[in-house]
Amino acid sequence: MNAIVSAKWVLARMYEPDVVIVDCRFALGKPDSGREAYEESHLPGAIYLDLEQDLSAPVEADGRGGRHPLPDPAALAARIGKAGISNESRVVAYDDQGGAMASRLWWLLKYLGHDNVSVMDGGFKGWKEAGFPVTAEQKITIPAQFLATVQHNLLAEVYDVQDVVAGAKQATLIDSREPARYRGEVEPIDRVAGHIPGAKNVLWTEGRGADGLWKSAEEQAARFEGLGLAKDDEIIVYCGSGVTATPNVMALQEAGYTNVKLYAGSWSDWISYEGNSIAIGNEENRKD
């Protein structure tokens, strides 16, 4: 399956028995809003998975793992199976947050070895604007068996990033957050401002065009070409908590990069370690 599918593609296949549609709507700071929106109206047959309850582990007291810690693979596989997703399912995820929450599920399923997963372009808003059907009726979910084959090559741990910063490992770090947060000028969520030293800033929302739809593979490639990367260079992508980095991971894949990893704990995990260094401002202005 393609990483991105159109609303028309979903409309044409939504009643096929192996298709599972997942509503991932979620608003940071309003943890109940996504489920409430789902209960009010969603794609026919869609199930709901919550960013914090289903797609993240509980937050650790010391902050390790970040604000949305990576779930234990076995626990996540069990939750995926309980939602009616099997290894044979074709999964389509959508949200109303520019694809960030849906991309989180896309990446998690890839991490568990499930490639038949896509994000619906345009999200719920685009679906409704197209005049496609919605409902408040919730389908009865029949649990399925989902066996995970964890793809460790898709994940970067904090020690991998530490090695990059120390110069012991070759990789390019990409920070997906807003430029002002990257530069350390503002920090509305985490307790420390700034970025991981050496990281380049590529805002995740720039993966969509003015119409809100996903850019073409060629346009995605143009976003990253200034970094001077070969297609097989190792790239580690992060954001605040491992959510909005996933659209950039998907964009890099669309652009043809083959060695892309997610630092799942991201900035909120990085700053939980006292010895980790922090950079402020733009990288070209740094004086080490």
Same domain assignment for residues 206 and 103: no
Q: Distance (Å, rounded) from C-alpha 36 to C-alpha 45?
A: 16
The answer to whether residues 161 and 211 belong to one domain is yes
pLDDT, residue 288, reads: 44
Residues in the chain: 288
CA dist list (Å): 256 to 140, 216, 218, 285: 39, 12, 9, 30
Q: How far is 1 from 226, CA to CA, in rounded Å?
A: 29
CA distance 241 to 26: 14
In a domain, 18, yes or no: yes
**135 lies in some domain:** no
Q: Is residue 117 part of a domain?
A: yes
Q: Is residue 146 part of a domain?
A: no
Q: In terms of domains, do 113 and 234 share one? A: no
Residue 145 lies in a domain: no
Same domain, 211 and 115: no
Distance CA 266, CA 231 (A): 23
Secondary structure of the chain in HEC code, one letter for each residue: CCCEECHHHHHHHCCCCCEEEEECCCECCECCHHHHHHHHCECCCCEECCCCCCCCCCCCCCCCCCCCCCCCHHHHHHHHHHCCCCCCCEEEEECCCCCHHHHHHHHHHHHCCCCCEEEECCHHHHHHHCCCCCECCCCCCCCCCCCCCCCHHHEECHHHHHHHHHCCCCCEEEECCCHHHHHCCCCCCCCCCCECCCCEECCHHHHECCCCCECCHHHHHHHHHHHCCCCCCCEEEECCCCCCHHHHHHHHHHCCCCCEEEECCHHHHHCCCCCCCCECCCHHHCCC
Residue 94 counted as domain residue: yes
240 and 159 in a single domain? The answer is yes
Q: Are residues 195 and 240 in the same domain?
A: yes
Q: Do 235 and 279 lie in a common domain?
A: yes
Domain range for 170 is 152-285
Do 235 and 60 contact (CB within 8 A), yes or no? Answer: no
Q: Is the pTM of this model over 0.85?
A: yes
Report the number of distinct structural domains present in the chain: 2
Are residue 207 and residue 166 in the same domain, yes or no?
yes
* Contact of 175 with 240, CB cutoff 8 Å: no
**Separation of alpha carbons 222 and 233, rounded Å:** 16
Q: Residues 6 or more apart from 96 whose CB is under 8 A from it?
A: 25, 37, 123, 124, 125
Q: What is the CATH number of the domain that holds 229?
A: 3.40.250.10
Q: What is the pLDDT of residue 285?
A: 55
Is residue 158 located within the same domain as residue 120? no
Q: What is the pLDDT along the chain (288 residues), one digit of tens a residue?
A: 799 999 999 999 999 999 999 999 999 889 899 999 999 999 999 999 999 999 999 999 999 999 999 999 999 999 999 999 999 999 999 999 999 999 999 999 999 999 999 999 999 999 999 999 999 999 899 999 999 999 999 999 999 999 999 999 999 999 999 999 999 999 999 999 999 999 999 999 999 999 999 999 999 999 999 999 999 999 999 999 999 999 999 999 999 999 999 999 999 999 999 999 999 999 865 544
In a domain, 86, yes or no: yes
Among residues 141, 164, 124, the alpha carbon closest in space to that of 80 is found at 141
CA-CA distance, 217 to 253, in Å (whole number)? 9
65 and 26 assigned to the same domain: yes
Whether 141 is covered by a domain: the verdict is no
122 with 201, same domain: the answer is no
By the 8 A CB rule, do 109 and 51 touch? no
For the chain, state the CA radius of gyration: 19
User: Which of 239, 243, 260, 271 is flagged as catalytic?
Assistant: 239
107 and 168 co-located in one domain: no
239 is annotated as an active-site residue: yes
